[in-house]
């Protein structure tokens, strides 16, 4: 995926999504919800890499 000029792309680590889905840290889950609601609507605004190095 390539960002267009003036487009902001936020790299999203899979751990951030896990915080939301597992709610293992109740203080962080609401922050993830805010991030997704504010930036998850436009095409290319959030990026989760398909390659994860362990």
pLDDT digits (tens, 9 = 90+) for 1-54: 555 666 778 888 888 888 888 888 888 888 888 888 887 776 667 878 777 666
pLDDT at res. 42: 64
- Token readout for 50 is 């398909």
What is the structure's pLDDT at 14? 84
pLDDT at 18: 85
Question: pTM of whole model > 0.85?
Answer: no
With beta carbons less than 8 A apart as the criterion, state whether 24 and 12 touch.
no
Q: What is the pLDDT of residue 2?
A: 55
Q: Are 9 and 44 in contact (CB under 8 A)?
A: yes
């Amino acid at each position: 995926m390539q960002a267009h000029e003036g487009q902001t792309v936020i790299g999203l680590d899979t751990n951030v999504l896990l915080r939301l889905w597992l709610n293992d840290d109740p203080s962080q889950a609401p922050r993830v919800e805010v991030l997704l609601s504010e930036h998850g609507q436009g095409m290319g605004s959030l990026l989760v890499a398909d390659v994860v190095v362990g």
